[in-house]
Amino acid sequence: MTKLSRRMAIGATLSASLATPRLLRAQSAEVVVHYPMPAFFKDVMEKIAEEFARAHPGLTVRYLAPAPNYEDAVQQVLRQGVAGGLPDVSFQGLNRLRMLNERRLPVDLRPFLSRDGDPAPRGWTPNLLGLGQVRDVQAGMAFASSNPIVYYNANLVRRAGGDPDQLPTDWNALIALAGRVHALGDGNSSMHFRWGGDDWMFSALLYGHGGRMLREDERDVAFNGAEGLASVTLIDRMVKEGKMPAFTVDAALQAFYAGKMGIFSGTTAYIGSMQRSIGQGVDLRTTRMPVINAEKGRLPTGGNAAVMLTRDAARQDAAWKFITFATGPRGQELMTRGTGYVPCNTIAAADDRYLGGFYRENPLFRPAMEQMPIAQAWYAFPGTNGVRITEEFVNNIARIVEGNATPEVALADMATGVRRLLPR
Amino acid sequence: MRPGEERSLLHDLPRLALLGLGACFILLPYVWMFAASLKPGSEIFRDSLTLWPERFYAIENYGKALSEVPMLRFLFNGALVCALILVFQMLFAVPAAYALAKLRWRGREFLFGLIMLGLLIPYHVPALPLYVVFARAGLLDSFAALVLPFTISVFGIFLFRQAFKSLPDELIHAARMDGMSELSIVWRVIMPNAWPAATAFATFSIVAHWNDLFWPLIVVQSHAMATPALGVLFFRAEEAGNDVGALMAAAVMVTAPMIILFLLAQRRFIQGIATAGLKG
Amino acid sequence: MRDSAALAGAAPATRASRGIGEAAAAWVLCAPAGLALFALLLGPSAALLVLSFSDWELGAPELAWIGLGNYVELTTDPVFRIALRNTLIYVGVVMPASIGLGLGVALLVEGGSRLRATFRAIYFLPVVSLLVAMATAWQYLLHPTIGPVNRLLALLGISPINWLGSSDWVMVSLCMIGVWENLGFVVVLFMAGLTAIPRELYAAAELDGARSAMDRFRLVTWPLLGPTTLFVVTITAIRCLRVFDTVQALTRGGPNNASQVLLHAMYQEGFSYFRIGYSAAITVVFLAIVLLLMLVQTRILDRRVHYS
């Protein structure tokens, strides 16, 4: 029994030491920040923290362990909303802001904005502010944004009879070029349009035609009209005429890296990994998305926004300083140079002190920046099934790509599926 | 084919050939992984399977894996967490397994049934409620959060129960005659005889928790507490941004200790499962 | 006389008190495990399962009790039905394949002494695999145009297969990877079972006229592997029913739910769509199915197993 009680004593001490609760946070001199996708943002965030501390003596930034992706980032905040422990600032995917707002988690930033005066001279146009708005609430400040572009393998383009300096500007030419790349054979794939994962790229086509997802009152679908039909027909043409194979996006990227795919259409955020993983012989080019409707055409915006979560007034002040720094010219310059995402600050983008020279030196990044004026907010569906709805798009487009459904049937099923999931 | 018998190399060839073929199938992903960890990004995805790198990039990849995240710290955390989990698992499971195997009491079958039920429950199920409890108790981001949920190992109780069942009852009777309490019998008499089973269990447990991603992802909030699998996850950025070379380097660094562990313990390990009463 | 009578009278009392003492000791020994079981596993699980009667979403400020509403929705949910079918297919393919191949490998490894330790280590490797990294490897190896597997098939004259991108082939690919994953476990367990068989039995069987390897297997190896086989079948069945990581890492249930499985559907509903109540309902149904299968299997196999 003596052995037992000694063991018990050791066990008790061990258990007690393990349960040491976290030390209380330092007094309001610290901003606790959480961000996603460390592979992209870690270096950038650390630089921002460094310069922020220098610009605001007395304030430091403490980063929590980053979330691997946007989905985990929103899960974390939702969990913390239930169990406590929200950080002061969190960077959330733009299409998640609506859901967070419905849970009443983000702090409305309008009072802070108006207190500091007109945002436009500081680089935040109404368009940019709109990216972080949900209805009238300024749920976040857009930090890193992306929009869809087209990547080309110039060698394959040349071999297929195209001109790498005169790349297609409309879909007919692009699809025709893809068909010619396919005809090269030798294991070369023609193109990939990143239809998987979510509804973002589909919305690129839909908005490009001037269409919209839901009606104004959000009670019924609007994407099954002429614009929607044209969009799915376009995807069907990519498959039938452009010979687009039914690859997963990872397979498509790998084929592109290996120099065995001619055209890839997806987010500009891929540029970084393209540059890192692409084979040495591959001559990479990027262009804007083919223009469908010159006046009404728009594009969706991906990326993330800085959201303020703390309700403590002192911490809010510090958090606001951090947010304005990160989304200000210098922070946006650091962000763009480090990741290739599009800056959400007009001063950063245009002024030579910041990124003016960058776009001259890095032509690959230019298309996305040039598309900023027609980039609109990433639409988030209302109601509890908001996330599940995006699956309806992906699943039905998969049927088109695999040739299991005609565009008309797939579109009709999309509409029925989404209707079923809309709030009643 | 008589097991264990020495045969000439010629006779052994069919066996070696078949095993070799199977081994290729098993090793293929690992070989590619290791090769990728030696290459720069531009060489990894190629049209042809070229395993040896043209430009030796191992130092950059492994260097990145070690510097972008405090990988050594993660490995240390992993070792500590796995060791603590194992200790507590044995502390809880061994006495219970003994009681289920050797003692006769009402409620024994009921408890065993509950344990089998526990074996079926997927690990996602208790996760959210546990998270809320730990968060409210302020225990998040600590070793307690990483270790506590796993201190109950139904697999361990199952395994040890099987092992103890095959031990002769006379051992226990003799010990009782000597006036030992049940608890001492467990630790002084039963365990030493079932040590191989413990090695087997230890290997399974350590491997399972070393590679665990789901729970640490939920409870870890600072780099100081991260576990090895989280370190690897850092380099994976969904679709784009995978720094594949560094990702593979990190994966190699995280997998290697487990392989070494198995190589060192394999004989005991095999023996252990055998003794775990798979004879019934 | 009186002594023996006294002794006789004392004996039942000792036995009874020993019985009580045994029960008391058993409860004390089981207390830590039992408490931990309830506090850390059964309790939280029960809490979640209770939520299956509600419509709670993660982060929502309030919830409503909707009784069997979620379960009713399940019966009309096509995704759930596909997930159920796919999971059963997966179990039906991976279980026999990995157990059969695993047994074969174990017999081969233990059947000789050359390179035994090396092969043991090699076949154990899949058990320590980290899927996060392994996924990229699989994606490349199974790539439709640049992957080595299709290259090999091309040499044999077979046209390239879209392993992970085609609804027709994705389950096949997942089953293959599943066999790869489970093989290590099975091989190791069978190797242990084989080393436990006493050599003398083989010698005795040979004396009795068992000449060929088939005979030895049938008369000695297989019957004595009974308990091991039962253990292997149980563990493999549970592991296969709980397939999740591969689907999450490689296909996310796609394309178009062709590779959706029960646990992934449960995870998706709970952690991607944040419908905790509905996800809990899927979990309850999953547990019921698993329990049923386990009961059936134990009934069938327990009768057949030969305990030495």
The yes-or-no verdict on residue A28 having pLDDT over 80 is no
User: Are A103 and C60 a contacting pair at CB < 8 A?
Assistant: yes
User: Are B232 and C123 a contacting pair at CB < 8 A?
Assistant: no
When pLDDT is averaged across residues C218-225 and rounded to a whole number, the result is: 83
Measured between beta carbons, which residues in chain C are less than 8 angstroms from residue A399? 256
Give a yes or no: residue B243 inside a domain: yes
Specify whether B49 is located in the same domain as B151: no
The yes-or-no verdict on residue C8 having pLDDT over 60 is no
Using a CB–CB cutoff of 8 Å, tell me whether C59 touches chain A.
yes
Measured between beta carbons, which residues in chain C are less than 8 angstroms from residue A103? 59-61
Alpha helix (H) residue ranges in C111-198: 116-124, 131-141, 148-155, 170-195
Give a yes or no: residue B3 inside a domain: no
Specify whether B212 is located in the same domain as B249: yes
Give a yes or no: residue B70 inside a domain: yes
Give a yes or no: residue A5 inside a domain: no
CATH number for A412: 3.40.190.10
Q: Residue A417 — very low, low, confident or very high, per pLDDT cuts 50/70/90?
A: very high
- What pLDDT was estimated at residue B189? 83
- What pLDDT was estimated at residue C7? 47
- Of the listed ranges A331-340, B14-23, B255-264, B271-280, the least confidently predicted one is B271-280
User: Are C307 and B267 a contacting pair at CB < 8 A?
Assistant: no
- What pLDDT was estimated at residue C216? 81
- What pLDDT was estimated at residue A412? 96
Q: Which residue's structure tokens are 């510090």? A: A318
The yes-or-no verdict on residue A92 having pLDDT over 90 is yes
Among partner residues B132, B187, B241, which is closest to A82 by beta-carbon distance?
A: B132
Q: Which C residues, 243 through 272, put their C-beta within 8 Å of a C-beta on chain B?
A: 244, 263, 266-267, 270-271
Using a CB–CB cutoff of 8 Å, tell me whether B151 touches chain C.
yes
Using a CB–CB cutoff of 8 Å, tell me whether B44 touches chain A.
yes
- Of the listed ranges A4-13, A30-39, B78-87, C171-180, the least confidently predicted one is A4-13
Among partner residues A189, A388, A398, which is closest to C145 by beta-carbon distance?
A: A189
Specify whether A190 is located in the same domain as A57: no
Q: Residue C14 — very low, low, confident or very high, per pLDDT cuts 50/70/90?
A: low
- What pLDDT was estimated at residue A24? 44
- What pLDDT was estimated at residue C15? 54
Give the model confidence (pLDDT) of B132-191 as tens digits.
889 888 888 899 999 999 999 888 898 888 778 877 888 888 888 888 887 888 888 888
Closest approach of chain C CAs to the CA of A419, in angstroms?
Answer: 15
Give a yes or no: residue B125 inside a domain: yes
Specify whether B117 is located in the same domain as B207: yes
- What pLDDT was estimated at residue B239? 56
Interface test with B, best of A6, A15, A18, A88 (most B CBs within 10 A): A18
User: Are C44 and B117 a contacting pair at CB < 8 A?
Assistant: no
Specify whether B252 is located in the same domain as B139: yes
Q: Which C residues, 108 through 147, put their C-beta within 8 Å of a C-beta on chain A?
A: 136, 139-140, 143-146
CA-to-CA distance for A134 and A145, rounded, in angstroms?
17
Closest approach of chain B CAs to the CA of A148, in angstroms?
Answer: 14
When pLDDT is averaged across residues B110-137 and rounded to a whole number, the result is: 87
Specify whether A245 is located in the same domain as A135: no
User: Are A258 and B47 a contacting pair at CB < 8 A?
Assistant: yes
Specify whether B73 is located in the same domain as B181: yes
Measured between beta carbons, which residues in chain B are less than 8 angstroms from residue A82? 132
The yes-or-no verdict on residue C129 having pLDDT over 90 is no
What's the whole-number average pLDDT of chain B? 84
CA-to-CA distance for A37 and A146, rounded, in angstroms?
14
Domains held by chain B: number: 2
Measured between beta carbons, which residues in chain A are less than 8 angstroms from residue B217? 68, 72
Using a CB–CB cutoff of 8 Å, tell me whether C112 touches chain B.
yes
Of C124, C43, C53, the C-alpha closest to B22 is: C124
When pLDDT is averaged across residues C7-31 and rounded to a whole number, the result is: 67
Catalogue the E-assigned strands of B90-139.
none
Using a CB–CB cutoff of 8 Å, tell me whether B133 touches chain C.
yes
- Of the listed ranges A165-179, A332-346, C14-28, the least confidently predicted one is C14-28
Q: Which residue of A has its CA nearest to B88?
A: A11
- What pLDDT was estimated at residue B75? 93
When pLDDT is averaged across residues A359-386 and rounded to a whole number, the result is: 88
- Is the pLDDT higher at A277 or at A413? A413
Among partner residues B130, B186, B244, which is closest to C40 by beta-carbon distance?
A: B130
Closest approach of chain B CAs to the CA of A32, in angstroms?
Answer: 11
Give a yes or no: residue A133 inside a domain: yes
Specify whether A399 is located in the same domain as A372: no
Q: Which residue of B has its CA nearest to A83?
A: B132
- Of the listed ranges A327-331, B163-167, B265-269, the least confidently predicted one is B265-269
Specify whether B77 is located in the same domain as B41: no
Give a yes or no: residue B1 inside a domain: no
The yes-or-no verdict on residue C308 having pLDDT over 70 is no
Using a CB–CB cutoff of 8 Å, tell me whether C154 touches chain B.
no
Give a yes or no: residue B88 inside a domain: yes
Of A301, A277, A323, A304, the C-alpha closest to A369 is: A301
Specify whether B212 is located in the same domain as B97: yes
Of C128, C90, C112, C101, the C-alpha closest to C187 is: C101
Using a CB–CB cutoff of 8 Å, tell me whether C119 touches chain B.
yes
What proportion of chain C, given as a percentage, has pLDDT over 90? Answer: 35
Specify whether A393 is located in the same domain as A257: yes
3-state secondary structure at position A186? coil
**Total beta-carbon pairs less than 8 A apart between chain B and chain C:** 279
User: Are C294 and B266 a contacting pair at CB < 8 A?
Assistant: no
Q: Which residue's structure tokens are 């990044």? A: A365
3-state secondary structure at position A134? strand
Closest approach of chain B CAs to the CA of A292, in angstroms?
Answer: 27
- What pLDDT was estimated at residue C306? 47
- What pLDDT was estimated at residue A1? 40
Among partner residues B140, B183, B241, which is closest to A40 by beta-carbon distance?
A: B241
- Is the pLDDT higher at A307 or at B103? A307
Give a yes or no: residue B119 inside a domain: yes
Specify whether A77 is located in the same domain as A141: yes
Using a CB–CB cutoff of 8 Å, tell me whether C25 touches chain A.
no
Give the model confidence (pLDDT) of C78-112 as tens digits.
999 999 999 999 999 999 999 999 999 999 888 87
Alpha helix (H) residue ranges in A209-345: 226-240, 249-257, 271-277, 313-326, 329-339
Q: Residue A331 — very low, low, confident or very high, per pLDDT cuts 50/70/90?
A: very high
Specify whether B133 is located in the same domain as B51: no
Give a yes or no: residue A363 inside a domain: yes
Closest approach of chain A CAs to the CA of C116, in angstroms?
Answer: 38
The yes-or-no verdict on residue B99 having pLDDT over 60 is yes
B66-71 LR contacts (CB < 8 Å, sep 24+): B66/B253, B68/A42, B68/B234, B68/B235, B68/B246, B69/B223, B69/B226, B69/B231, B69/B234, B69/B250, B70/B223, B71/B228, B71/B231, B71/B250, B71/B253
Give a yes or no: residue A20 inside a domain: no
Specify whether A177 is located in the same domain as A66: no
The yes-or-no verdict on residue C271 having pLDDT over 90 is no
Specify whether A324 is located in the same domain as A415: no
Domains held by chain A: number: 2
Give a yes or no: residue A25 inside a domain: no
- Residue A69 is given by DSSP the state S
Single pTM value for the model: 0.87
Using a CB–CB cutoff of 8 Å, tell me whether B242 touches chain A.
yes
Measured between beta carbons, which residues in chain C are less than 8 angstroms from residue A307? none
Identify the domain containing residue A240 by its residue range.
Answer: 148-300+381-421
The yes-or-no verdict on residue B111 having pLDDT over 60 is yes
- Is the pLDDT higher at C9 or at A178? A178
CA distances from B214 to B134, B204, B238, C251 (A): 16, 18, 16, 18
Give a yes or no: residue A6 inside a domain: no
Q: Residue B120 — very low, low, confident or very high, per pLDDT cuts 50/70/90?
A: confident
What proportion of chain C, given as a percentage, has pLDDT over 70? Answer: 91
In this prediction the ipTM stands at: 0.83
- What pLDDT was estimated at residue B79? 94
Specify whether B90 is located in the same domain as B25: no
Give the model confidence (pLDDT) of A47-84 as tens digits.
999 999 999 999 999 999 899 888 889 999 998 888 88
Of A192, A177, A317, A318, the C-alpha closest to A247 is: A192
Specify whether A117 is located in the same domain as A43: yes
Give a yes or no: residue A169 inside a domain: yes
Give a yes or no: residue B163 inside a domain: yes
User: Are B241 and A39 a contacting pair at CB < 8 A?
Assistant: yes
What's the whole-number average pLDDT of chain A? 89
CA-to-CA distance for A262 and A154, rounded, in angstroms?
8
Using a CB–CB cutoff of 8 Å, tell me whether B233 touches chain A.
yes
Q: Which residue of B has its CA nearest to A282?
A: B42
Closest approach of chain A CAs to the CA of C253, in angstroms?
Answer: 10
Specify whether B79 is located in the same domain as B199: yes
- What pLDDT was estimated at residue A40? 84
Q: Residue A19 — very low, low, confident or very high, per pLDDT cuts 50/70/90?
A: very low
Using a CB–CB cutoff of 8 Å, tell me whether B42 touches chain A.
yes
CA dihedral A103, A106, A112, A117 (to 10 degrees): -90
When pLDDT is averaged across residues B66-72 and rounded to a whole number, the result is: 87
- Is the pLDDT higher at B94 or at A39? B94
DSSP B132-166: HHHHHTT-TTSHHHHHGGGS--HHHHHHHHHHHHT
Identify the domain containing residue B191 by its residue range.
Answer: 63-275
Specify whether B230 is located in the same domain as B169: yes
Q: Which A residues, 208 through 247, put their C-beta within 8 Å of a C-beta on chain C?
A: 245-247
Q: Residue B277 — very low, low, confident or very high, per pLDDT cuts 50/70/90?
A: low
- Is the pLDDT higher at B34 or at C116? B34
- Is the pLDDT higher at B49 or at B278? B49
Using a CB–CB cutoff of 8 Å, tell me whether B193 touches chain C.
no
User: Are C145 and A255 a contacting pair at CB < 8 A?
Assistant: yes
- What pLDDT was estimated at residue C293? 82
The yes-or-no verdict on residue C153 having pLDDT over 70 is yes
The yes-or-no verdict on residue A26 having pLDDT over 50 is no
Among partner residues B47, B106, B266, which is closest to C121 by beta-carbon distance?
A: B266
> Which tokens sit at B14?
């069919």
Compute how many other C-beta atoms are within 10 angstroms of the C-beta atom of residue A376: 16
Give the model confidence (pLDDT) of A188-237 as tens digits.
999 999 998 889 999 999 999 999 999 988 889 999 999 999 999 999 99
Give a yes or no: residue A266 inside a domain: yes
Q: Which residue's structure tokens are 């009681």? A: B99
Measured between beta carbons, which residues in chain B are less than 8 angstroms from residue C294? 116, 120
When pLDDT is averaged across residues B50-73 and rounded to a whole number, the result is: 87
Measured between beta carbons, which residues in chain C are less than 8 angstroms from residue A260? 145-146
Specify whether A362 is located in the same domain as A253: no
Specify whether B45 is located in the same domain as B173: no
The yes-or-no verdict on residue A8 having pLDDT over 60 is no
Specify whether A313 is located in the same domain as A355: yes
Closest approach of chain A CAs to the CA of C96, in angstroms?
Answer: 29
Specify whether A276 is located in the same domain as A389: yes
Interface test with A, best of C138, C274, C276, C282 (most A CBs within 10 A): C274
- What pLDDT was estimated at residue A328? 92
- What pLDDT was estimated at residue C303? 65
Give the model confidence (pLDDT) of A248-266 as tens digits.
998 999 999 999 999 999 9
Specify whether A66 is located in the same domain as A193: no
